[in-house]
């Protein structure tokens, strides 16, 4: 069990560019969650998957955000036409729904939009 | 929607002493989980302890224990024999029944005084 991994760990981009983040969950986990954390705040829910199905999206997830989990394993979060307000830490977590609903977090991807 | 209040933005405790972090929440659900996570500076979110709302017995994990008062919607964390490695931001997070998404408070920054 290698834990949840996220890549890249840091990303600096210019306003208007597109960025994509990747999350690899714990291998047997069927649920995968994305959260966003801004400085001095707790994480906020963005979206989650059960296997490959995206079951819920927060109102925080504007049309510029899209997430996929194509084979029910890793997931990607893409932000198009980035804005300075997108600067945050993007956290991924996974869990095994039906056995233990405890979410285990990755180290996060810190995004800075200039 | 759930709301979470952590009324202590910062706490400090002498090494080897005991400290209690408070958390209150609001939910309309009767069955849910509650979690405490810690987030050391520039490091990832780590699970501290978990409580099932249907269990009356308070959870304990080594030096960490909770005082769960379901009717009062209170979920405090007690850390005994505080150690330097306990220094972190602590987040209280109840989960929704069904989608299990976490709602985080604003956190309590815990400082350990040597």
Q: Does residue A6 carry a pLDDT above 90?
A: yes
Task: Tell me the average pLDDT across A53-79.
Answer: 94
Give the closest residue to A87 by CA, choosing from A18, A11, A8.
A11
Spell out which residues of chain B touch residue A104, defining contact as CB-CB under 8 Å. Answer: 47
**What residues pair up with A52 in beta bridges, in sequence order?**
none
CA atoms of A106 and B44, how far apart (whole Å): 6
Could you tell me the pLDDT band of residue A2, with boundaries at 50, 70 and 90?
A: confident
**Residue of B44, B46, B94 for testing the chain A interface, max A β-carbons within 10 Å:** B44
Alpha-carbon separation of residue B110 from A56, B10, B11, B72 (angstroms): 33, 6, 5, 24
CA atoms of B92 and B90, how far apart (whole Å): 7
Q: Does B64 touch chain A (CB under 8 A)?
A: no
Output the pLDDT for position B1.
62
Output the pLDDT for position A1.
56
**What are B42-85's pLDDT values in tens digits?**
789 999 999 999 888 999 999 999 999 999 999 999 999 999 99
Q: Does B104 touch chain A (CB under 8 A)?
A: yes
Q: Does residue B99 carry a pLDDT above 90?
A: no
- Concatenated DSSP letters for A11-67? EEE-TT--EEEEEE--TT--EEEEEEE-TTS--EEEEEEETTEEEEE-TTS-TTEEE
Q: Which of A5-14, B20-29, B76-85 has the lowest mean pLDDT?
A: B20-29
Q: Does residue A19 carry a pLDDT above 60?
A: yes
């Amino acid at each position: 069990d290698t834990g949840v991994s996220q890549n890249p760990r840091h990303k600096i981009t210019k306003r208007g560019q597109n960025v994509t983040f990747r999350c690899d969950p714990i291998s047997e986990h069927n649920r995968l969650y994305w959260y966003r954390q801004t400085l001095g705040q707790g994480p906020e829910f963005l979206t989650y998957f059960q296997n490959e199905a995206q079951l819920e999206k927060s109102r925080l997830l504007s049309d510029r955000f899209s997430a996929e989990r194509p084979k029910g394993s890793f997931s990607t979060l893409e932000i198009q036409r980035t804005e300075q307000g997108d600067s945050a830490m993007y956290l991924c977590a996974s869990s095994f729904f039906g056995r233990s609903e405890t979410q285990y977090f990755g180290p996060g991807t810190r995004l800075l939009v200039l | 929607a759930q709301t979470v209040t952590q009324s202590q933005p910062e706490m400090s405790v002498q090494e080897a002493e005991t400290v209690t972090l408070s958390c209150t929440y609001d939910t309309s659900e009767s069955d849910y989980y509650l979690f405490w996570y810690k987030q050391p500076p520039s490091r990832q979110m780590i699970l501290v302890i978990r409580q099932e709302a249907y269990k009356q017995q308070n959870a304990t994990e080594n030096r960490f224990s909770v005082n769960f008062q379901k009717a009062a919607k209170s979920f405090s964390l007690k850390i005994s024999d505080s150690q330097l490695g306990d220094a972190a931001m602590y987040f209280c997070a109840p989960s929704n029944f069904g989608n299990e998404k976490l709602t985080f408070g604003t956190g309590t920054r815990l400082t350990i005084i040597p």
